[in-house]
Structure 1
Amino acid sequence: MSEGRPQHGDQPRRSDVVELRVHGVSGADPKVILDWAQVRQVAGDDSGGFHRPAPSDDAEPDGVTLEAYRWGDLPSGTVGRTLAMVFLLPFMFSNVAVWMRPTGRYRAGGVNVLCRLLALNLTVLYVVAIAGVGLDLLAWRCLGAARCRAPFDTMAGLDGWHVGQRLAVLALLPIAAIAVLRLLGTRRSGPTGHATWAMEPLVRRLRMIHVAAALAVLDLVLLTARHAGGATVGTTLLLVLNAAVLLACIGLLAVPGLIDRAGITRAVTWIARALGVVAVGLSVATLVIVATDRGGWSPTSELPGYGGIAGAALLGQMALLVLLSAVVLWKRGRVGGRSALPGGLGAAVLATIAVALAGGLSAGLVYQTGELLGGYRSDGGPPLPYRWTLLAFFLHVVATALLCGVMTLTSRRRRQRAAAAITARDFPVVPPEAVGRLRLTTKTIARARFTEWLGLLAATYAALAVIGLTTSLVGATGRDPEVLARQFLGLPAGAVEMGLNGASYLIAALLLTLLAGGVFAYRTGWFRRHVGILWDLGTFWPQAAHPFAPPSYADRAVPELAGRISQLAERHAGVLLCGHSHGSALLALAVLRLPPQVCRRVALLTYGSPLDRLYARLFPAYLTEEMLRELGERVEWRWLNLWRDTDPVGGWVFAAHRPGDPPPDPDDPAGQVDRRLRDPPELLPAAGKRSAPPLRGHHPGEDDPEFRAAVRELTERLRRAV
């Protein structure tokens, strides 16, 4: 850490420039961000705060006052809450997918509708899976048709109750699960002030729709089971009404722009609220009718109708996913003329991951719980749709592993050739003792360039949705996967069952890994740098598709940053904003919120920034070249972007400026933004040094000479502008 720097008292001078640093998704301690032994918090709280060197505001040799904004704890929380968030991962992925929609009115509208319908389907599948444990496994099998292992064969005396009472009592389990989702979905990251996105009215409407649909599906499970033993006027009426509620929920989401349209939002809000109230009333009526009905229950080995409802939910999920992939892949175009992640493709990829996780976790929950309780010993296994889902999950994992391996191998030669061309221009003369160092640099650049192949990888991965649709369609015929495997593939008896068991254990291992990650991601620094990245990126976006996804921390971080920048601009000659990695995105949004009089006192330094290389392709409808140019115009083009070829995440924003590239247009200020940093600066140690300069890659490097030179340049430009 740096010590012994000059002090200038507690009150900053009017002529000072503040260097405000914002870290990336991996998080960092303020002492590390500022490179100072002791820091003190000057604003914010423990989750997100602004820090300065202690004991006083010290001026750097470059004449700036250091300050850091630490937001890394905003997406996290207690261990218990973080563990609970693990189960919301499919919801989070489906929610982020809607923000990845492509440009173009019709394609974007279609992707928007399909993502929201998929999100609703995930909620339905969540409830159906828990109903499979509570109603089919416990209430019907363990306490009736097939005795489970002790003590689950009695369940606190419920074995003496009649079927309707058992179902009504254990239906409280999925109802409680719905309540937990409702509670988790309303958690906030802290005081928000002025929200970054005006999303809360939409989230409330989505929340009411999802709760109404979840209750309606649960009622349909109960009423279908009762209806199988003989129809009555009451059960038929309730079936029709609950089906109408479910269709109304689907209809509100299926009409493009209906729940977003400003002119009719009041009517839509009223309808959604009415659906929620009606769904609660129908659920109460359903529980009463089921609990008081002592006869008319079909004597089957599994809950009547449950397999059909689960199969319909899974088939609908796969059909929506394939349709979404088709819409995204149809006439997809490139963004900015580069091939990495063509616009809108991320929506299909994230939706595929969400569906795979949701289906796998649901099937694993039903399968493993049944094996644990012994509820499937007498009838050959869990409901058939879940057996096919387990098979689809297994095939999906195998296909994904093969795809990644093939893509890595097939792209290696081209990546190495491109990397060799870069290092040859950077180091035209290489001493013999530096050959090994040059080889390491070339390999690092080749690995970093795999990002440029993500477009092809994502397009192929999105096509894997066909696997799930195929297995769901075959499963809808009622055929057992093991029987078909013997007939058409000639596999021996038990081979498919071994695969299904392996898939269930794979899902259990995945769940345990996620749970362990939830514990360690926000308690262990090195682990968080790898696992917490996914969580930080996923919780950045508001709940525009799934209301039970983790709430967005940007609704606090961005307004908080904008407010602090405005305060500093009033007290100082200028504010130099330094954003690393995802921190550059937070600063970009904050700058777009600043009034013009504040922007005139602001400069921007981004480094390791994914604004164009990844985000412009992941979120093409929001992060466009026009937005980036507006960002530059707001700060009057006092903007420098530092990037390295060894960085797999960050890159240039407007132009690469590699050696040999054509010079930038002097009349276009955007051409002056990007500064390429040769990494490493030299292959051999400098005079008086024992080791060569390290490869920086995605490392921030605030103390690097190139970074400090950029700080001095922007500081001078700020002072001239005042």
Structure 2
Amino acid sequence: MPQAAPRHGDQPRCDDVVELRVHGVSGARPSVILGAERVRQVAGDARGGFHRRDGPDSTDPDGVTLEAYRWGDLPSGTVGRTLAMVLLLPFMLSNAAVWMRPTGSGAAGVTVLCRLLALNLTVVYVVSIAGVALDLLAWRCLGAAACRAPFDTLAGLDDRPVGQRLAMSALLPIVAVGVLRLLGTRRPRPAGNPLWAVEPLVVRLRAIHVAAALAVLDLLLLTARRGGGATPGTTVLLTLSAAVLVACVGLLVAPGLIDRAATARIATVTARATGVLAAGLTVATLVAVARDERGWQSSAGLPGYDGITGGALLGQMVLLVVLSGVVLWHRGRSALPRGLGAALIAAIAVGLTGAFSAGLVYQAGVLLGGYRGDGGPPLPYRWTLLAFFLHVAVAVLLCGAMTLLSRRRRRGAAEAIVARDFPAPPPEATGRLRRVTKAVARARFTEWVGLLAATYASLAVVGLATSLLGQFGREPDELARHYLRLPAGAVGMGLAGGTYLLAAVLLALVLGGLFAYRRAWFRRYVGILWDLGTFWPRAAHPFAPPSYADRAVPELADRIGQLTERHAGVLLCGHSHGSALLALAVLRLPPSVRRRVALLTYGSPLDRLYARLFPAYLDEKVLREVGERVGWRWLNLWRDTDPVGGWIFAAHRPGEPPSETTDPAGRVDRRLRDPAGLLPSAGERRPPPVRGHHPGESDPAFRAAVRDLVGRLRSPDGG
């Protein structure tokens, strides 16, 4: 890591303490974090670096040297990288789901199910690309149907035999798999000293996913070829391709095979051999299909394509239902059940994958005109689009219903909190008191997210039902008319609504990715999706974006070690997600460094969200270990108006009986009254603002906490 030479104001004193600030997902500029117009970079690079005030003295009035670590460009430093994350969003979510697994007996099963689900997402991706290349282009537009020009004579393939058309068109999904593999080989810089040593696992997962993708493509081609009559060659190739797919599933299902160090070499060799075999079978399949001059089965669509597509989508929903059932069975009893995030995030990933795939095939058919006169896209995709529309509609209704049903309880709790904070408000503060109460009530909606997530995860049965109906060949219009008594055209409106909704989602994701990169104010609201999704390494899906924590956390730990060599101590100040980065950095510090470190967190989601979303990795035991490693020189500031952050060990609200305990964890949390007052103070025109989740490093309470921890660092016994 590049290191700047010391300048005036950098010379350490015997009692000098550095206040190292780490921002949250908003990605604020260093000048904002440090509260200075001019800053200079003292370490790091353009994407992630350490900054100080640029001037004759970089200390604050308390004599503390200020430094900021800006990591906001690590997960989305360029437009291309941001767009890649948007396009790979389902893979990123499926990878995050495996880190949300619950603890206890269900953890291993959830891991296997998440990895199988991730593999299925790759399969569905390839099947949808093959639907455009093989079913639409090669079979319909260049053969069975008259598509719009110039797609009816594309590259002169209309005069070629069917087998050659299919073999040439199969290059498109092969290229798509190659693009995914290239994206999956990107690694964050620097590669040395990573936080999680999972790169060997990613290599194995990548080989498995590529092998499965090629095997499914072979099955599509060979199944279509067998429709005109089987031969010994096609039977052997079909059997071997199915065996490759089974081997890929077996590698993921075998307990600990690809994770354990004892079996790592065997798993790596087996995965790579499976990938090589799959590539060889694909070449052989393309040659066999292209050179087979026998007649092909006459049909509107590619023979066997609907069945394989329906099977892939059905398998997706079965895995999701089983995963949701396992997670709900093993969930803990809390306001936001621990481990439930795995089912919720997996459900969103599955919904997006199915919708993207169906939308791709549907819109390509509209563009090419390949579905005219035969009822539209393949039946499984019609059910998928309809299920997507129903899922989103029900989710919106659930959010609205949950908001209304919880309003009374949230309002009551907020009124009790505000009444304790402002027991005798003046009459002119009535309106202000009402707005503060609403802010607290809105922030408490986070406590209801668990129930909302459980309800949404249970909606997976809707997708399973539609997939089963598609497998039995039931038409959506037929069921709507005969069983639901819906008017003609109702299903068509649902399909159209699904496609428009999907187009809106895609547009929002692309614009969100671009604006999150270009506008800091927009990133504050959507950046949490990217920053949290790319925080965790690739332990389920190898084509997800790489983890920036593999760079950020070791870089922080190294910088803290360097600062303790030149200063009396280092006060680590982490806001929001920055508190998680610092907590993990503390766990990497050697004992000689930890003795000169203190920790200040504010707006921290460590317990309120992360300990519940990631119970196997950031639970109370880990948080207590963080406190022990810094000698309990740790303060956590939180507000009732904050919808994200909260207390870590104890609430300590005013009016509640004090906690009589010798446990040092009970002295970590400090609640901040928000706002500081209802009316403007003397000389001010406006009342104190409602801070909510905003940092507020200049607040008197924040500076008081800084002085407290700095005093502990400067004391001879270390506080």
Give the superposition deviation at 1:419: 0.2
Aligned to 2:681, the other structure's residue is in SS state coil
Give the superposition deviation at 1:483: 1.2
Amino acid at match of 1:641: N
Question: Partner of 1:346 in structure 2?
Answer: 341
Give the superposition deviation at 1:512: 1.4
Q: Are 1:92 and 2:92 an aligned pair?
A: yes
Amino acid at match of 1:635: V
Contact 1:340 1:617 in 2 (8 A): no
Contact 1:579 1:607 in 2 (8 A): yes
Question: Partner of 2:167 in structure 1?
Answer: 168
Alpha-carbon distance between aligned partners in 1 of 2:338 and 2:511, rounded to the nearest angstrom = 34
Question: Partner of 1:639 in structure 2?
Answer: 634
Alpha-carbon distance between aligned partners in 2 of 1:199 and 1:562, rounded to the nearest angstrom = 19
529-538 or 34-43, larger mean C-alpha shift? 529-538
Alpha-carbon distance between aligned partners in 1 of 2:179 and 2:240, rounded to the nearest angstrom = 25
Superposed, which structure 2 residues align to 1:21-40 within 5 Å? 21-40=21-40
Give the superposition deviation at 1:76: 0.8
Q: Are 1:480 and 2:475 an aligned pair?
A: yes
- Spell out, residue by residue over 1:469-524, the C-alpha distance to the aligned partner (whole angstroms, 9 max, x if none): 01111111011111111111222322211211221121112111111112211011
405-414 or 178-187, larger mean C-alpha shift? 178-187
Question: Partner of 1:520 in structure 2?
Answer: 515
Superposed, which structure 2 residues align to 1:308-707 within 5 Å? 308-334=307-333, 339-707=334-702
Question: What 5-or-longer segments of structure 2 have no aligned partner?
Answer: 1-6
670-679 or 9-18, larger mean C-alpha shift? 9-18
Superposed, which structure 2 residues align to 1:24-173 within 5 Å? 24-104=24-104, 106-173=105-172
Amino acid at match of 1:47: R
Aligned to 2:152, the other structure's residue is in SS state coil
Judging changes above 3 Å, is the alpha-carbon distance between structure 1 residues 331 and 191 closer, same or farther for their aligned structure 2 residues? closer
Amino acid at match of 1:579: G
Alpha-carbon distance between aligned partners in 2 of 1:491 and 1:631, rounded to the nearest angstrom = 59
Give the superposition deviation at 1:299: 1.5
Alpha-carbon distance between aligned partners in 2 of 1:278 and 1:709, rounded to the nearest angstrom = 65
Alpha-carbon distance between aligned partners in 2 of 1:9 and 1:93, rounded to the nearest angstrom = 45
Contact 2:85 2:530 in 1 (8 A): no
Question: Partner of 2:269 in structure 1?
Answer: 270
Aligned to 1:31, the other structure's residue is in SS state helix
Alpha-carbon distance between aligned partners in 2 of 1:41 and 1:484, rounded to the nearest angstrom = 65
Aligned to 1:178, the other structure's residue is in SS state helix
Give the superposition deviation at 1:57: 4.8
Alpha-carbon distance between aligned partners in 1 of 2:81 and 2:24, rounded to the nearest angstrom = 23
Question: What 5-or-longer segments of structure 1 have no aligned partner?
Answer: 1-6
Question: Partner of 1:210 in structure 2?
Answer: 209
Contact 1:20 1:577 in 2 (8 A): yes
Give the superposition deviation at 1:666: 4.3
- Spell out, residue by residue over 1:199-227, the C-alpha distance to the aligned partner (whole angstroms, 9 max, x if none): 11111111100000000000100111001
Aligned to 2:656, the other structure's residue is in SS state coil
Alpha-carbon distance between aligned partners in 2 of 1:192 and 1:64, rounded to the nearest angstrom = 33
Question: Partner of 1:181 in structure 2?
Answer: 180
Give the superposition deviation at 1:678: 0.2
Alpha-carbon distance between aligned partners in 1 of 2:505 and 2:648, rounded to the nearest angstrom = 37
Alpha-carbon distance between aligned partners in 2 of 1:559 and 1:325, rounded to the nearest angstrom = 35
Alpha-carbon distance between aligned partners in 2 of 1:666 and 1:384, rounded to the nearest angstrom = 64
Contact 1:376 1:382 in 2 (8 A): yes
Question: Partner of 1:4 in structure 2?
Answer: none
Alpha-carbon distance between aligned partners in 2 of 1:206 and 1:57, rounded to the nearest angstrom = 51
Contact 1:226 1:296 in 2 (8 A): no
Give the superposition deviation at 1:331: 4.1
2:707 to 695, 704, 712: 712
Question: Partner of 1:3 in structure 2?
Answer: none
Contact 2:649 2:668 in 1 (8 A): yes
Alpha-carbon distance between aligned partners in 1 of 2:659 and 2:192, rounded to the nearest angstrom = 42
Amino acid at match of 1:102: P
Alpha-carbon distance between aligned partners in 1 of 2:231 and 2:616, rounded to the nearest angstrom = 52
Give the superposition deviation at 1:30: 0.3
Amino acid at match of 2:523: R
Give the superposition deviation at 1:333: 1.5
Give the superposition deviation at 1:56: 4.7
Contact 1:75 1:189 in 2 (8 A): no
Contact 2:22 2:575 in 1 (8 A): yes
Aligned to 1:260, the other structure's residue is in SS state coil
Amino acid at match of 2:594: C
TM-score (norm 1): 0.97
Give the superposition deviation at 1:119: 0.2
Contact 2:102 2:330 in 1 (8 A): no
Amino acid at match of 1:35: G
Amino acid at match of 1:441: V
Alpha-carbon distance between aligned partners in 2 of 1:296 and 1:26, rounded to the nearest angstrom = 61
Amino acid at match of 1:77: G
Alpha-carbon distance between aligned partners in 2 of 1:307 and 1:152, rounded to the nearest angstrom = 22
Judging changes above 3 Å, is the alpha-carbon distance between structure 1 residues 570 and 665 closer, same or farther for their aligned structure 2 residues? farther
Amino acid at match of 2:339: G
Aligned to 1:664, the other structure's residue is in SS state coil
Contact 1:8 1:58 in 2 (8 A): no
Superposed CA RMSD: 1.1
Aligned to 2:257, the other structure's residue is in SS state coil
Aligned to 1:75, the other structure's residue is in SS state coil
Alpha-carbon distance between aligned partners in 2 of 1:332 and 1:430, rounded to the nearest angstrom = 43
- Spell out, residue by residue over 1:404-440, the C-alpha distance to the aligned partner (whole angstroms, 9 max, x if none): 1110000000000000000000000010000111100
Contact 2:106 2:330 in 1 (8 A): no
Give the superposition deviation at 1:255: 2.1
Aligned to 1:682, the other structure's residue is in SS state coil
Give the superposition deviation at 1:295: 2.1
Question: Partner of 2:251 in structure 1?
Answer: 252
Amino acid at match of 1:423: V
Amino acid at match of 2:91: F
Contact 2:574 2:582 in 1 (8 A): yes
488-497 or 667-676, larger mean C-alpha shift? 488-497
Superposed, which structure 2 residues align to 1:185-204 within 5 Å? 185-204=184-203
Give the superposition deviation at 1:699: 0.4
Count of aligned pairs: 711
Amino acid at match of 2:261: A
Aligned to 1:491, the other structure's residue is in SS state coil
User: Structure 1 segments of 4 or more deviating over 4 A?
Assistant: none
Alpha-carbon distance between aligned partners in 2 of 1:524 and 1:680, rounded to the nearest angstrom = 28
Alpha-carbon distance between aligned partners in 2 of 1:30 and 1:639, rounded to the nearest angstrom = 24
Contact 2:418 2:437 in 1 (8 A): yes
Contact 2:358 2:385 in 1 (8 A): yes
Amino acid at match of 1:36: A
Give the superposition deviation at 1:8: 5.8
Alpha-carbon distance between aligned partners in 2 of 1:156 and 1:691, rounded to the nearest angstrom = 70
TM-score (norm 2): 0.98
Amino acid at match of 1:431: P
Contact 1:12 1:57 in 2 (8 A): no
